[in-house]
Amino acid sequence: MAIGGASGPTRGLGPGRVLVVDDEMHLRLFIKAVFESAGYETATARDGEEGLEKARAFKPDLVSLDLMMPNQGGVRFLTGLRADPELCATKVLVVSAIEGATFNHSLALLSAGPGPAPAPPDGYVEKPPTAQRLLSEAQRILAQGAA
Amino acid sequence: MSEPLSLLLVDDEDGLRRVLSLSLADRGWRVRAAASGEEALALFRAEPAPVVVTDIKMPGMDGLALLRAVKELDPDCEVVLITGHGDIDLAIQGIKLDAADFVTKPIRDETLDIALSRARERRGMRRAIREHTEHLERLVESKTRELLAAERLAAVGQTVAGLSHSIKNMASGLEGSLFLLRQGLDGDRKAYLEQGFEMLETNVRRLKDLSLDMLRFAKPEDIRRVPADPAEPARQVTALLAARARDQGVELALELPGAPGTGWTLPLDVEALHRSLLNLVGNALDACRAAGYGPPPEGRSGGRVTLAVAPSPEGGVVYTVADNGSGMPESVRQKLFTPFYSTKGEGGSGLGLLTTRQVVAAHGGSIDVATQEHAGSVFTVIIPAQYENKLL
């Protein structure tokens, strides 16, 4: 990724590009502002469908994803992202109201479901998120990718 | 006493039958007469009578056999037996077979009158008991339903899950607004300040609404009914929500069909009803938004919410809140009055309809909903004129 050519994500001088996918407006604004303030380039999407469109155009390094959107929006987004050869390497940070243990359980269920299971997200922050948690988790995930 | 006085008279003595028929008709009874048990039974089968007056001793089918046959056809039918001198044992047998009374020959008008009024009283009592039993059954059914709802509230997992979702969303919103305000102040960024303030405002309001809903739900307020115009809370709510409806591109109409106009008063707690109607109309506007009605250019036009106030046939008032919004599937309708159940995600506490129902119940009234998915919903609130102290 670090040696991305013309087709790779266009890197500015900042730490990276973050796409925020959340159905709740306030959360979107909040998370966007957190990454913006830390120097990231940001884009937002209101649901999984719009998220995939934006991801194709914006080519983010990291997606901040609300997994529990209506109509399984989060899960569909994750599946769609992992199935797209251009996007499958994008890191995913899940921001969700469900607790860690429940979240892991739901991931297990997801992989037990029909069809190919999407690769699990790279990180997880429980709601309500704090700016500090979001940024440290994002840094950790992106550092992994660069390693 | 509303029942017409109608009886079937059975005696094999022509003379007695004719005299009694005349005498009873004279006192307002509609009399059908039969000369034998068999004939009486045939008449009864053709058209049952509330009261049968029959001689005991008759050739063929006697009075006791007729009594049994009639009781089998209609246990509510009252039978008065006519006995001869020295037939007291037969009379006792008749009473054991559930005859209402017996009169001894020679028949005196007063004695017969007393026997007949006893028979009618027995019928009235029987009916009252039956109605009472049915009412009790209904009461038990509705209380059972409420008990089940209370048990659902006690189902901690579900309750906390619903509530924790609302709380986490509000906590996120508050966290977010603090962050935006701090960033806005530090970096002098006006956009952050504005967003942060809007977010703070919204979440403070949500927090306030949820806390107050929970308070009201935990400890229902006393309802204080004073004579008031039933249309008043509806007018207030329509005026209050007019701007919001306009912003949403939804037509909000107040209808007062058949309202008696000035001087119409009922004992109501206007403030509590105001809150309840506000909740119902607010829900209806939400349903219109969920159905895609909204201001141009993105929104569809044609969204409509109607609040109607009309006198009920029983002298109370009926409030109807109808919308052509998203409606509800059966699975949602069943859970409407479940505490902390909400379809609005971030926006609902899941207590609004519940507190509305409490207010309506405290007025001795009822709330009902008819709904069809993608077509709309109609909530009907009926408040009776007379306050019935329902068991709560």
Answer for the pair B56, B84: CB distance below 8 angstroms, yes or no.
Answer: yes
Question: What is the nearest CA distance from A5 to chain B, expressed in angstroms?
Answer: 35
Which residues of chain A make contact with B182, given a CB cutoff of 8 A? none
Handedness of CA B58, B62, B66, B67 (dihedral sign): positive
Residue B63 has pLDDT above 90, yes or no: yes
Spatial separation of the C-alpha atoms in residues B221 and B224, rounded to whole Å: 9
- Asked if B85 and B109 sit in the same domain, the reply is yes
Half-sphere CA count of B364, side-chain side, radius 13 A: 14
Asked if A29 lies within 8 A of B345 by C-beta distance, the reply is no
- Asked if B110 and B170 sit in the same domain, the reply is no
The beta strands (E) that lie in B205-281 are given as 226-228, 250-255, 266-268
Other Cβ atoms less than 10 A from the Cβ of B342: the count is 19
Identify the band that residue A112 occupies on the pLDDT scale cut at 50, 70 and 90.
low
In a domain, B388, yes or no: no
* Residue B297: cis peptide before it, omega within 30 degrees of 0: yes
Last residue of a domain, one of B215, B232, B255: B215
In a domain, B95, yes or no: yes
- Asked if B243 and B362 sit in the same domain, the reply is yes
Which residues of chain B make contact with A33, given a CB cutoff of 8 A? 176, 179-180, 183, 192, 195
Which residues of chain A make contact with B202, given a CB cutoff of 8 A? 26
- Asked if B110 and B208 sit in the same domain, the reply is no
Exposed e or buried b per residue across B274-294, where buried means at least 16 C-beta atoms within 10 angstroms of its C-beta: bbbbbbbbbbbbbbbbebebb
- Asked if B255 and B348 sit in the same domain, the reply is yes
Residue A134 has pLDDT above 50, yes or no: yes
Which residues of chain A make contact with B165, given a CB cutoff of 8 A? 97
Asked if A27 lies within 8 A of B172 by C-beta distance, the reply is yes
Q: Which two tokens stand for residue B132?
A: 């009472």
Question: What is the nearest CA distance from B176 to chain A, expressed in angstroms?
Answer: 5
In a domain, B140, yes or no: no
Which residues of chain A make contact with B203, given a CB cutoff of 8 A? 26
Identify the band that residue B9 occupies on the pLDDT scale cut at 50, 70 and 90.
very high
Spatial separation of the C-alpha atoms in residues B98 and B87, rounded to whole Å: 17
Spatial separation of the C-alpha atoms in residues B14 and B40, rounded to whole Å: 14
* pLDDT score at B1: 43
CA B319-B321-B324 angle, to 5 degrees, is 160
- Asked if B79 and B226 sit in the same domain, the reply is no
Residue A6 has pLDDT above 50, yes or no: no
- Asked if B229 and B373 sit in the same domain, the reply is yes
Which residues of chain B make contact with A131, given a CB cutoff of 8 A? 179
Q: State the complex-level ipTM.
A: 0.73
- Asked if B230 and B205 sit in the same domain, the reply is no
Domains assigned to chain A: 17-146 (3.40.50.2300)
Which residues of chain B make contact with A23, given a CB cutoff of 8 A? 345
Answer for the pair B321, B327: CB distance below 8 angstroms, yes or no.
Answer: no
Q: What is the pLDDT of residues B188-213, one digit of tens each?
A: 888 899 989 988 988 888 888 777 77
Could you say which of A30, A97, A130 has the minimum Cβ distance to residue B165?
A97
Answer for the pair B169, B346: CB distance below 8 angstroms, yes or no.
Answer: yes
Which residues of chain A make contact with B197, given a CB cutoff of 8 A? none
- With CA atoms as reference, the chain B residue closest to A28 would be B176
Asked if A127 lies within 8 A of B173 by C-beta distance, the reply is no
In terms of Cβ atoms closer than 10 Å to its own Cβ (0-12, 13-18, 19+), residue A48 is: buried
Instruction: Indicate the number of domains in chain B.
Output: 3
Asked if A129 lies within 8 A of B199 by C-beta distance, the reply is no
Query: What does DSSP say about strands B366-372 and B376-383: parallel, antiparallel, or unpaired?
Result: antiparallel
**Which stretch of A39-48, B148-157, B275-284, B367-376 has the lowest confidence by average pLDDT?**
B148-157
> Could you tell me the CATH number of the domain that includes residue B54?
3.40.50.2300
In a domain, B98, yes or no: yes
- Report which DSSP code applies to B12: S
Q: Which of B169, B178, B179, B190 to mutate to test the interface with A (most CBs of A within 10 A)?
A: B179
Could you say which of A26, A33, A37 has the minimum Cβ distance to residue B172?
A26
Identify the band that residue B127 occupies on the pLDDT scale cut at 50, 70 and 90.
confident
Spatial separation of the C-alpha atoms in residues A107 and A92, rounded to whole Å: 14
Nearest Cα neighbor of B79 from B96, B58, B100, B97 is B100
Identify the band that residue A5 occupies on the pLDDT scale cut at 50, 70 and 90.
very low
* pLDDT score at B258: 76
Whole-angstrom distance between the N-terminal and C-terminal Cα of chain A?
10
Round the average pLDDT of chain B to a whole number and report it: 84
Residue A131 forms contact with B (CB below 8 Å): yes
In a domain, B389, yes or no: no
Quick one: average pLDDT of A51-75? Answer: 86
Identify the band that residue B133 occupies on the pLDDT scale cut at 50, 70 and 90.
confident
**DSSP secondary structure string, B129-174?**
HHHHHHHHHHHHHHHHHHHHHHHHHH-HHHHHHHHHHHHHHHHHHH
Q: Which two tokens stand for residue B273?
A: 């009803």
Question: What is the nearest CA distance from A9 to chain B, expressed in angstroms?
Answer: 28
- Asked if B14 and B71 sit in the same domain, the reply is yes
* pLDDT score at B221: 59
Identify the band that residue B390 occupies on the pLDDT scale cut at 50, 70 and 90.
very low
Q: What is the pLDDT of residues B212-268, one digit of tens each?
A: 777 766 655 577 888 889 999 999 999 989 988 998 899 999 998 877 767 788 989
- Asked if B349 and B229 sit in the same domain, the reply is yes
* pLDDT score at A82: 87
Instruction: Tell me the three state secondary structure of residue B181.
Output: helix
Question: What is the nearest CA distance from B209 to chain A, expressed in angstroms?
Answer: 18
Other Cβ atoms less than 10 A from the Cβ of A34: the count is 27
Residue B27 has pLDDT above 80, yes or no: yes
- Asked if B295 and B373 sit in the same domain, the reply is yes
Answer for the pair B365, B386: CB distance below 8 angstroms, yes or no.
Answer: no
Residue A11 has pLDDT above 80, yes or no: no
Whole-angstrom distance between the N-terminal and C-terminal Cα of chain B?
34
Asked if A26 lies within 8 A of B171 by C-beta distance, the reply is no
High-pLDDT (> 90) share of chain B, %? 36
Asked if A26 lies within 8 A of B175 by C-beta distance, the reply is no
Angle between helix B109-154 and B14-26 (nearest 10): 60
> Could you tell me the CATH number of the domain that includes residue B353?
3.30.565.10
Which residues of chain B make contact with A133, given a CB cutoff of 8 A? none
Could you say which of B164, B173, B183 has the minimum Cβ distance to residue A33?
B183
In a domain, B337, yes or no: yes
Answer for the pair A120, A92: CB distance below 8 angstroms, yes or no.
Answer: no
Cα of B45 vs its chain's centroid, Å: 37
Nearest Cα neighbor of B279 from B353, B345, B371 is B353
Spatial separation of the C-alpha atoms in residues B261 and B248, rounded to whole Å: 31
Answer for the pair A91, A141: CB distance below 8 angstroms, yes or no.
Answer: yes
User: For tokens 């020295």, what's the residue?
Assistant: B86
Residue A111 has pLDDT above 80, yes or no: no
- CB contacts < 8 Å between A and B, how many? 58
Identify the band that residue B139 occupies on the pLDDT scale cut at 50, 70 and 90.
confident
Last residue of a domain, one of B74, B104, B128: B128
**Which stretch of A9-23, B32-46, B342-356 has the lowest confidence by average pLDDT?**
B342-356
Last residue of a domain, one of B104, B128, B152: B128
Asked if A128 lies within 8 A of B171 by C-beta distance, the reply is yes
Could you say which of A26, A33, A127 has the minimum Cβ distance to residue B192?
A33
Tell me which residue range forms the domain holding B73. Answer: 6-128
